[in-house]
Structure 1
């Protein structure tokens, strides 16, 4: 499996606190069947002032530590990028990294408030030739009232990345419901760990892969944890990547009424 969203670099954001924690995260990932991780610290002006040069240097240093200890885990670079003014300019200049230097980038919306002009901002990134991968939409506090927006974003060229631990219930019933809803509705391109430590938010994908296999079948489950990631790393255009599964119209139920989007 390939994990393209992980806060494994030590001391660079709110993820791993030390080299020892990063080493333990790496061992956990390898034991779980993960062969490659993208180091994707937050970039948020005024709080996490990371950039391509710093992330690359930290990745290289951590990779040397893994290699010296015989940990068979390959690292690449990226960032968990917040939607802020100047983002397109930062991407163009190379200050803000994309995933593995491709057209794909992780885009983290505000967790508690729907960003103003969100669709227009995403569309601008797509128009510039990027593929924004929206991170953990199932955990956003405003998903209930804006769920149809995510379907529109997919139609205009954005991708969706669910957190593996949401599917396995680590983030509670609400996040589990919405992660299953995104999968059921054919709106999920990839799974990733969004791991921050070797504790509750650890780099584990196998449980979510098993759940996705039960829901969607082995072929799509494999695409969620490796197949589409391989295409992304090769910078394959979205039109040439295996498409999202076709879905049947949803029938409403009590779970929908409890957690569902407002109409």
Structure 2
């Protein structure tokens, strides 16, 4: 399986605090069936001042440590990128990393407040040739009052990533409810661990895949942790599965969303 969201790099954010912890996280992931993992520390101005250069160095260092420890886990560069007005420019400059230098990147809105002009930012990102992967919308506290925003982001071209622990109820009833709702509506593209440690928020995808399979079937559940993550790392064109189910924009918004589908027909660098 391929895990596209992890905080396994030591000392870069609120994830692994040490190399020893990172190695144990890797062992747990491999034991659960994960073979490839994107290293995606937070990038949050004012709190986690990470960028492409230091993340690449950290991935190389951890990769060398994995080889010495004979842990068969392939690592990829990425980041868990928080909302910022200049994000399209930062991605274009390469100062913040996409997933394995693809057009795809993890996009994390604030957990407790729906930011203004979020949809406009997403459209700017897509028009610039980047594809946001909306991380764990089921855990956002504003989803209940603003589920239509998630629907519109999905319709605009955002991929949807659920946290594995949400699907098995570890984040509580609300996150479980919206995980199941998104799966049942056919909106979920990816399941990822969002692991932060070897004892809390441990790595592992297999239990979530089994739970998802009961709702969407085994083939589709496997697509969420194998086929689509592989396509993302290979930078292949990938249209959100939820676009077929997403609500059409209201008449007042048709102009804002018109023509976005053609962006997925050709690749970007």
Give the TM-score taking structure 2 as reference length. Answer: 0.89
The answer on 1:153 being equivalent to 2:153 is yes
Number of positions where the alignment pairs a residue of Structure 1 with one of Structure 2: 247
Query: Quick check: 1:170–1:200 contact (8 Å CA) kept in 2?
Result: no
Give distance in 1, aligned partners of 2:215 and 2:31: 24
| Cα displacement string for residues 231-251 of structure 1 (whole angstroms, at most 9, x for unaligned residues) | 111111124x8x45966x9xx
Cα shift at 1:73: 0.3
Give distance in 2, aligned partners of 1:137 and 1:109: 9
Partner in structure 2 of residue 64 of structure 1: 64
SS at 1:142 equivalent: coil
Partner in structure 1 of residue 123 of structure 2: 123
Give the TM-score taking structure 1 as reference length. Answer: 0.91
Partner in structure 2 of residue 180 of structure 1: 180
Give distance in 1, aligned partners of 2:47 and 2:200: 24
Give distance in 1, aligned partners of 2:40 and 2:233: 14
Partner in structure 2 of residue 54 of structure 1: 54
Give distance in 1, aligned partners of 2:48 and 2:176: 29
Structure 1 pair 244–120 and aligned structure 2 pair: CA distance change class (3 A): closer
| Cα displacement string for residues 120-175 of structure 1 (whole angstroms, at most 9, x for unaligned residues) | 11111011111000101000000000001111111111111000000011111111
Partner in structure 1 of residue 82 of structure 2: 82
The answer on 1:222 being equivalent to 2:217 is no
Cα shift at 1:108: 0.3
Structure 2 stretches lacking a partner, 5+ long: 248-269
Query: Quick check: 2:15–2:197 contact (8 Å CA) kept in 1?
Result: yes
SS at 1:133 equivalent: strand
Cα shift at 1:6: 0.1
Partner in structure 1 of residue 97 of structure 2: 97
SS at 1:145 equivalent: coil
Query: Quick check: 1:186–1:245 contact (8 Å CA) kept in 2?
Result: no
SS at 1:196 equivalent: coil
Structure 1 stretches lacking a partner, 5+ long: 250-263
Runs of 4+ in 1 over 2 A off after TM superposition: 243-247
